[in-house]
């Protein structure tokens, strides 16, 4: 049975009509996740939430243990993930309060994030040529359309280290790449989901125009738009979650074919967590 996971902030897991079933504290081979895995029901549909920055938003993008978050969800057999995150816009048409459903990522982080489950004796190469599951992306777009939510399908998300917003020169550079939106969290999250054999798609909620336009980006204005975006995402989740649970998507897991190291060379501990990743 296919299970759905949502990674996002308080605007996602504080829905008015959500029923909390249980909260699971999970220890992983990769350390502590951001928070407990919140098992819940929305309109009778089961879903598993991971608060990316912890409840209370106390974890910086660079401090998020992305491996532990993905692994924790995988232990509950979650194999479809909808990521929800705030982003800046690098294109005029992606206005604040709009949603963008990207299909590509550009990693512009500084190399300090743990971005693979493999190493330490296990070699694997998993393709991230198409990090977004197109079927999942399309289903999200269909639900947005039904609710008259302005959502742009396609485009590239450039992931920076943060926590500072970009300089004007950096913002112009990213625009020259052809990137559509800019954020701080979806890499390595999306790549790790591929390594774990999960279908992954992002709902990027635009809060501002970064700083390439003349307007100066301030936290206060961003927070005001985030309030509107949170109201919109809550409305979307009430229909999207039941739709994805009752009508599962079909996809092919690509992670197992990328493992190069024979199983007989794995340690006993590696065998345990590899079986979780590959199931």
Residues 244-276 have pLDDT tens digits of: 999 999 999 989 899 999 999 999 999 999 999
Q: Single out the residue of 77, 131, 141, 125 nearest to residue 104, CA to CA.
A: 131
Separation of alpha carbons 241 and 92, rounded Å = 30
Identify the sign of the CA torsion 148, 150, 153, 159.
Answer: negative
Structural domains of the chain in order of their starting residue, each with its CATH number: 3-278 (3.40.50.1580)
Distance, CA of 265 to CA of 10 (rounded, Å): 42
Catalytic (active site) residue 77: no
Task: Work out the mean pLDDT of the chain and round it to a whole number.
Answer: 94
- For residue 217, the 8-state DSSP code is P
In this predicted structure, the answer to whether residue 219 has a pLDDT above a threshold of 80 is no
- Annotated catalytic residue within 35, 107, 210, 243: 210
Q: How confident is the model at residue 144 (pLDDT cuts 50, 70, 90)?
A: very high
Q: Are 115 and 188 in contact (CB under 8 A)?
A: yes
For residue 199, what are the β-bridge partners?
Answer: 80
Q: What is the pTM of this model?
A: 0.96
How much is the average pLDDT of 77-89?
Answer: 96
The string of pLDDT tens digits covering residues 172-205 is 999 999 999 999 999 999 999 999 999 999 999 9
Per-residue model confidence (pLDDT) at position 212: 87
Cβ contacts of residue 9 below 8 Å, gap of 6+?
51, 52, 53, 57, 84, 85, 86, 230
Distance CA 276, CA 195 (A): 11
How many CB atoms neighbour CB 27 within 10 A?
Answer: 11
**Percent of the chain residues topping a pLDDT of 70:** 97
CA–CA distance, 83 with 109 (Å, rounded to integer): 18
Catalytic residue among 79, 180, 208, 243: 208
Q: Is the pLDDT of residue 215 over 90?
A: no
Q: How confident is the model at residue 224 (pLDDT cuts 50, 70, 90)?
A: confident
107 is catalytic: no
Confidence at 10, pLDDT banded by 50, 70, 90:
low
**Do residues 82 and 4 make contact, with C-beta atoms less than 8 angstroms apart?**
yes
Segment 16-30 shows an average pLDDT of 93
Res 223: pLDDT: 80
The first and second tokens of residue 235, run together, are 């409305």
């Amino acid at each position: 049975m296919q299970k759905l996971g949502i990674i996002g902030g308080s605007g996602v897991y504080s829905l008015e009509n959500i029923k909390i079933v249980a909260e699971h504290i999970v220890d992983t081979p990769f350390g502590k996740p951001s928070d407990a895995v919140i098992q819940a029901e929305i309109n009778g549909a089961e879903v598993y939430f991971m608060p990316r920055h912890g409840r209370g938003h106390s974890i910086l993008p660079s401090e998020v243990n992305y491996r532990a978050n993905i692994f924790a969800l995988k232990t509950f057999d979650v194999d479809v993930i909808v990521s929800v995150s705030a982003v800046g816009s690098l294109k005029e048409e992606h206005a604040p309060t709009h949603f963008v459903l990207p299909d590509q990522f550009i990693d512009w982080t500084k190399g300090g994030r743990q971005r693979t489950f493999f190493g330490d004796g296990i070699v694997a190469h998993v393709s991230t040529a198409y990090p977004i599951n197109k079927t999942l992306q399309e289903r999200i777009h269909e639900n947005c359309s039904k609710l008259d939510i302005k959502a742009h399908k396609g485009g590239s998300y450039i992931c920076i280290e943060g926590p500072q917003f970009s300089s004007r020169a950096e913002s112009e550079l990213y625009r020259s790449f052809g990137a559509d939106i800019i954020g701080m969290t979806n890499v390595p999250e999306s790549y790790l989901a591929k390594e774990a054999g999960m279908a992954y798609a992002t709902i990027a909620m635009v809060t501002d125009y970064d700083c390439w336009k003349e307007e100066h980006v301030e936290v206060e204005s961003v927070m005001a738009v985030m309030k509107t975006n949170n109201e919109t995402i809550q409305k979307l989740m009430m229909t999207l979650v039941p739709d994805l649970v009752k009508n599962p998507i079909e996809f092919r897991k690509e992670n197992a074919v990328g493992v190069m190291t024979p199983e007989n060379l794995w340690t006993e501990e590696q065998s345990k967590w590899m079986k979780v990743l590959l199931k």
